[in-house]
Structure 1
Amino acid sequence: MTKVSIIMTAFNEEKFIKKSIESVLVQSLSDFELIIVNDGSEDDTLDIISQFDDSRIILIDQENQGPGAARNNALEIASGKYVMYLDADDWFHPQALEISYDEASRKDTDFTFFQMINYDDKTHEVYENDWFNLNNFDESFEDTVFSPEDIEGSIFDLSVGVCQKIYNTSFLRDIGAKFPEGIFFEDMPFFYYVLLKSERISIIKKHLYYRRKHDASITHVVDEKFLDTVPAGQELMRIFIENGWYDQYKFDLLAYKINGPRFALRDIKENYKIPLYELIKKDYLEIKQTQYYNDFLDNLGPVKRKFFLDIIRSKDYQEFKTLNQA
């Protein structure tokens, strides 16, 4: 069995994908397969991928289906004992596979976190932050194995990014882990499902992944992709409710669900504010008709509760702005 399957999805990544692929091919651990999904790219991405002559590269060339479907399609054919994900504009540390594989296999984890480091494409600055440094895990979590119960009060303070972990492939398949398809921010519901199904987790306090910040980064440009903060939050609620996790986590879950679209509405480009408001309003009016409505009223803090009610009470975006500024 191959030790590690790396899954990379690519849509119009001609500027960056060469470096990303090269960072895999020079890994100190050579027993891997690199599954690249060209997700309907319209630039030279496919041509660049095709220039690499390495039997460990498996190419899926498909019409554009979005990142969730692309990752699901790759996971179906992955033959590695473990799976790692690499975005086509990022790259691995040369020992990323070896270090993460050794940790995960030695401790028999369902998945293992490792640190990421940021790279600014304009300034060429490399910099750290608390989020990707896993600073929510203190020294007691190092060189040990823990479960979700050990971090119950802080699960919504963790990095949800799929690329910051190595996963046991059999574990993912046994729990039926799938990314939501047709939306962005698919990492988030996937992460919480995997996290709360897991029993054995560990961390590696080493920077094994370089995360490139550039003008087209999904988290850098608050554009129409952020409309999907609403369906991603709906999917998250569904996962918690259907798996019996809702009551245990509802206080933090509801705040988390509100905050994603709330911050997106604040920061999104002006021409997307009304469409996002309308999506949020539709979601909240549907919640109002469910048994969970009073939970929102009873568990949200004053700022988030006001946002929730101002959306419901307003007849349009302009009235919402007036209400929410009061």
Structure 2
Amino acid sequence: MSVKISVVLPVYNVANYLRKCLDSLVNQTFKDFEVICVNDGSTDLSLGILEGYALTDSRFRIISQENQGLSGARNSGIKEVQGDYILFVDSDDWLEENALELLYDHVKGFDSDITMFKFKFYNEDSGEFSESSFTNLDVIDPSFYTGNFNYYDVLDILFKISHAPFNKLYKTSFINDLDAQFLHGSYYEDLEFFYKVFLKAKKVSVLPEYLYSYRIREQSISTSGDEGSFDIFNILESTKNNLIDSDIYDKVKKDWLLFIIVNLKYVYLRLQIELKNKFLDSMKQHYDDFELGDVDNFDGWHYEDQSFYKAISVSNNYEIFDLNYEKGNYEFLAKHFETLSNELRAENESLKQQLNNKDSSEGIFKRFVKL
């Protein structure tokens, strides 16, 4: 069966969310697609739900395997793809019903290796949607919307582009030519996969439409903070090598060093407390490998990233590290608000002087009128 788009859908114990995801696919206005459902060793009712949909819709194919994790499930799906393009969807998320139609209409004209589109976060607890420059692609200048570009055109924002796999449509022949796979059994495989393929893409385009909703829930891998969190070090090392292989490392090194700190901070702040000392030790061990000593200024750094970076080299355990991190944050804020307070006082004095001058002028005017 030849189709235009193959949707790769890894499924693992998401029975409570799966139907919403599957319904968003069944109801697509575009019909020429397949869904490769990779049942990754689910122990709940997920497989039964998949079988129900596959029974009534031949576009749904089920592959069952022992649990291999998200990366292993995606890789299994890639091997079964029959479509011209690949879209990765997480089974607790959902697509807008016109998503595939808009994507295919777009890519017919652009013939892109990768097409990026917008998405929104959905907070399961609050029921609210949110977005950021990470999700709405605002970091990409609208001038790039009218044609294809490549990584070299966007070196200044290379580390600000979303590396999520689910808000991108990939040309199947491009992925197959690279023999691109997700790093098996690893957390943060999305990051490694994105830069591995993005730095090889000759034609990248943007469809500035919100087509995907990403569910944030407490039990997701991204919020677990367990031993798998240490995979970030291998992922960053591998990505650094990809930058070197693409001959752009020196050109983007300053931004890359900030990117390292941003990711280490993201992981550390979500880490289980009993793993923090080990993680701090790992940061120190990788300090020279990551060339963190080459940071020479903090232009463009958020103050929390500065504090986190400074705390690494002066802390021997996580308790001291946390104190140094908080101390750095408060020192910055105290200085910032002291400066702001002084500016406000100066502005207040200026306004008082203007009022005094105005009162004085009006007094002179009144005396002149009386005369």
CA–CA distance in 1 between the matches of 2:135 and 2:307? 31
The residue number in structure 2 matching 1:80 is 83
- What is the Cα deviation at residue 171 of structure 1? 0.6
SS in 2 for 1:28: coil
* Equivalent of 2:207 in 204, 208, 215: 204
Query: Is the contact between residue 254 and residue 300 of structure 1 (CA under 8 Å) also seen in structure 2?
Result: no
Asked if structure 2 preserves the Cα contact closer than 8 Å seen for 1:112 and 1:203, the reply is yes
Residue type at the aligned position of 1:95: N
- Structure 2: gaps of 5 or more residues: 329-371
* From 254, 259, 276, the counterpart of 1:256: 259
Between Structure 1 and Structure 2, how many residues are aligned?
319
Contact 2:199 2:246 in 1 (8 A): no
CA distance in 2 between counterparts of 1:123 and 1:96 reads 25
Q: How far apart, in 2, do the equivalents of 1:257 and 1:15 lie? A: 35
Equivalent residue of 1:46, what SS?
helix
Residue 282 of structure 1: aligned partner: 285
Any stretches of 5+ residues in structure 1 without a counterpart? none
Matches within 5 A, 1:160-239: 160-220=163-223, 222-239=225-242
SS for the counterpart of 1:84 is: strand
- C-alpha displacement of 1:224: 4.8
Matched, 1:245 2:257: no
Amino acid at match of 1:299: V
CA–CA distance in 2 between the matches of 1:116 and 1:322? 36
Offset, 1:237: 1.9
Q: Is the 8 A contact 1:18 1:48 kept in 2?
A: yes
Letter in 2 for 1:297: G
SS at match of 2:115: strand
Structure 1 residue 16: deviation in Å? 0.6
Match of residue 294 from structure 2: 298
Is the CA contact (8 Å cut-off) linking 1:183 and 1:231 kept in structure 2? Answer: no
* Alpha-carbon distance between aligned partners in 1 of 2:324 and 2:20, rounded to the nearest angstrom: 49
Amino acid at match of 1:182: G
More helix, by proportion? 2
Counterpart code for 2:168: K
Mapping of residues 2-41 of structure 1, within 5 Å: 2-41=3-42
Corresponding position of 2:159: 156
Matches within 5 A, 1:50-199: 50-52=51-53, 53=55, 54-199=57-202
Which whole-Å deviations, capped at 9, do the CAs of 1:117-146 have from their partners, x for residues lacking one?
A: 222223332333332111112321223222
Over the aligned positions, Cα root-mean-square deviation in angstroms equals 2.4
Contact preservation (8 Å) 2:287, 2:293: no
Q: What residue identity is the alignment partner of 2:282?
A: L
Distance 1:66 1:245 in 2: 32
Q: 1:16 to 1:300 in 2, by over 3 A?
A: farther
Rg larger for: 2
Q: CA deviation at 1:243?
A: 4.1
Q: Distance in 1 between matches of 2:189 and 2:310?
A: 27
Work out the CA distance in 2 between the residues paired with 1:219 and 1:179: 16
How far apart in 1 are the matches of 2:309 and 2:106?
43
Q: For the structure 1 residues 263 and 122, does the alpha-carbon distance in structure 2 shift closer, same or farther, using more than 3 Å as the test?
A: closer
Residue in 2 that maps onto 1:49 = 50
Separation (CA, whole Å) in 2 of partners of 1:128 and 1:307: 25
Q: Distance in 2 between matches of 1:305 and 1:132?
A: 24
TM-score (norm 1): 0.88
Deviations 1:144-175 (A, max 9, x none): 22222221100111111100010101011112
Structure 1 Cα separation of the partners of residues 33 and 309 of structure 2: 47
Alignment of 1:303-318 (within 5 A): 311=312, 314-318=315-319
| 3-state secondary structure, aligned to 2:158 | helix
